[in-house]
Every structure is written in C-alpha cells, then in structure tokens.
Chains A and B, each alone.
Chain A
Amino acid sequence: MHLLLANNSAAGGAPAGAFESIASAAGTGSSGTITFSSIPSTYQHLQIRAIVRTSTGTGTGFNIRLNNDTGSNYASHQLYGDGSSAAAAGNASESSITNGGGLAFGSSITADILGVSIVDIHDYANTSKNTTTRTFSGRDNNSTNGFIRLGSGLWMNTNAVNQIDLISTSGNFTTQTQFALYGIKAAP
C-alpha cells in the first residue's frame, strides 16, 4: 500500500491566483431565488459551484437568468442520462436557461442528499457577443432518481453579465443549499 500524506501547503497563507472567490450565498428556506448582483467586469470568466436541495418535489433543479432579463431571450440544450437511457433536449425563446440549468433533489428524497452543479460563463463581460453558458450537473440518491446533465445556455444579449439569478424549479432553496461564485482572471 502506498500512502500519500496531503501536505497542507495552505498553512501560513498563499498568494492570490487566477481563480478568485467573488461571493457565496446559502438558501434561506423561504425563497426560491438566489441572486448574485453587482458582479464586477474585471474577470475573464465566471464559475458557479453549487450544492442544491429544494423544499418541494423529487428530482428538481434551478434555472439561470442573467441581468434580470425576463424576456424570451434564452435558449438551452442538454445531453442527459437518467440511469437507464441517454437522451437530449432543447428549448428556444425561453425566459431563463432551463436545460442548461442545474440539478437538485426535493423534499421527497432522503434527507441530506443534494444535487451538485458547475456552471461556467465564459467571456461574460465581452460586449461584442451574446453570452453562452455551460453546465455539468448531477444528482444521485442510490435509487432511480439519479440524473446526469451536460447543458448549454444562450442569452441573446450582448451586455456584460452583472447579475445572475438562480431560480428553483420547485419550492424554495433549503438552508443546506449553497451557491458560490468565482471569477477567473485573464493573463495580465
């Protein structure tokens, strides 16, 4: 057996790098929306990392809306597997990114099991093009409710992204829910 001891090189601190934490937010149990606002335009890309559970439902999730644009200015697609078959889906002209959103579990599922997601928004501050998102998300409960998703989203607007709304598809976000927003810098 070969043992590798994890060297905690963090002791004593470390210099800042290209990947920075911007903000984090937890569910309150009384709201189905979490908002990151006043996002600075000083990064090259954004990433959201999330663990999510909702107050109702079984297999649930969250949709994504940018800059509080509630118009039919979004499209999304997904490639997914549900544990028995692989398939794809897509939507056009929708009011938020749905197929490219994240996955969660609701109150009908065993307690303390959450869905997980990584959402990437590349080049979010570039005003010469629309915004594309990418999501890798999954949930598993040791039963038949597992789901794995590769998603993409489009916001048909060239404005820089300065607000991100994460919108539950079923009830409120529980207090176990955590969203963390990170900024990725470009080379100087």
Chain B
Amino acid sequence: MPATYEPIVTTTLSSAILNLDITSIPGTYTDLKVIMTGVPSANDTLQMRFNSNTSNYSRTRLSGDGSTAASGRNTSQTRFTIADNKTTQPFFVEFDIFNYAGSTHKTMLYSYNLDRNGNGEVVKGVALWRNTAAITELNFFNQLGANFNSGTTVTIYGILKA
C-alpha cells in the first residue's frame, strides 16, 4: 500500500540530454507532484507532453515579469508550453497533476519561477490534456532543441487520498 506522499523517482542528470522522459509511472496514487530545476544549454522554451501524445493540449496562465502582470492562453496545441528558460540562471517549476490515472480529462496546475537579478518571470498556470487515458509517461523537451544540462533534477511524488 503506497504511503500518502511518496517519492516515486528522483534523478539528477550527469550529462546533458535533449529529451527528458519519465516512463512507467504507476497508477496507484491520486495525484502527482513533479518538481524540476535546471539550466538549459541555450535560451529556449520548456515544453511538456503526456504519454508522448502530440495533440489536445491547452493552457491558461497568469504571469509577472517585474513590471507587468498579464494573462494568456493557448488552445489546441501539440504540447504544453510552460515558460521561457535562460542559460544564466536555474529555473524552478512545480507541477500538480490531478487524478492522473482517473477517467476524466487531465488537468494540472503549474508554478514556474526564474529570476536573473534584474529581470525574471513568475508564472502560474492551469493546463488541460483532453484525453481520458491514465498518464503513465511525462515528456520534457525544449522548443528549439536546447539540452537539459547536467545537474538538472526531477523528482516525482505520488499523493494518495484516503
């Protein structure tokens, strides 16, 4: 019987890679929490998919860049667009994926933070994958092909309700 809040997988990259995929996620929890921090090899935009699926993604976001608060949305995308990363400072992003193994379409909340001592961005978002399949795989990549550098860490926690 899984514990209420339990680490499923933790990894720290020992070398740079292009695609970061976590597979074989067990369906025994209620929600997933994913925490990721790293520095890309080039300025780029963090992307995400579920189950290597390339359709039915959308999101609504709220952001602040130190001078302006804004909100935007993307619809009918081939992947989630999370936020812009820069090479000089590490980013931090946290995902809460609700009812990931259930029978409804999959919704997650995410929080993204990047500060560069003069500029930066904080982003809060809600994202929808219009697919009722259980999530068994998370796929991270960068839009323009930047690598995830050595030292990038990802931890996935499983949260189990009573």
Contact = CB atoms under 8 A, between A and B. Distances in A.
Interface of A: 1-10, 13-24, 49, 51, 79-86, 112-116, 118, 136-144, 146-148, 150, 176, 178, 180-182
Contacts of B103: 112
B59 A140 contact: yes
Contact of B71 (A21, A83, A139, A140): A83
A142 B128 contact: yes
Interface residues of B, number: 63
A60 B71 CA distance: 19
B72 interface: yes
Given A82-B60, A136-B124, A140-B107, A6 B26 contact: yes
Q: Which 6 A-B pairs have the closest CB atoms?
A: A138-B126, A81-B71, A146-B60, A81-B62, A83-B73, A10-B2
Interface stretch (B42-50, B83-91, B113-121, B154-162): B154-162
24 contacts: A4-B22, A6-B22, A6-B156, A7-B9, A9-B7, A14-B2, A16-B4, A17-B5, A21-B161, A81-B61, A81-B124, A84-B72, A85-B70, A85-B71, A112-B132, A114-B98, A138-B125, A139-B126, A140-B58, A140-B73, A140-B127, A142-B128, A144-B73, A148-B60
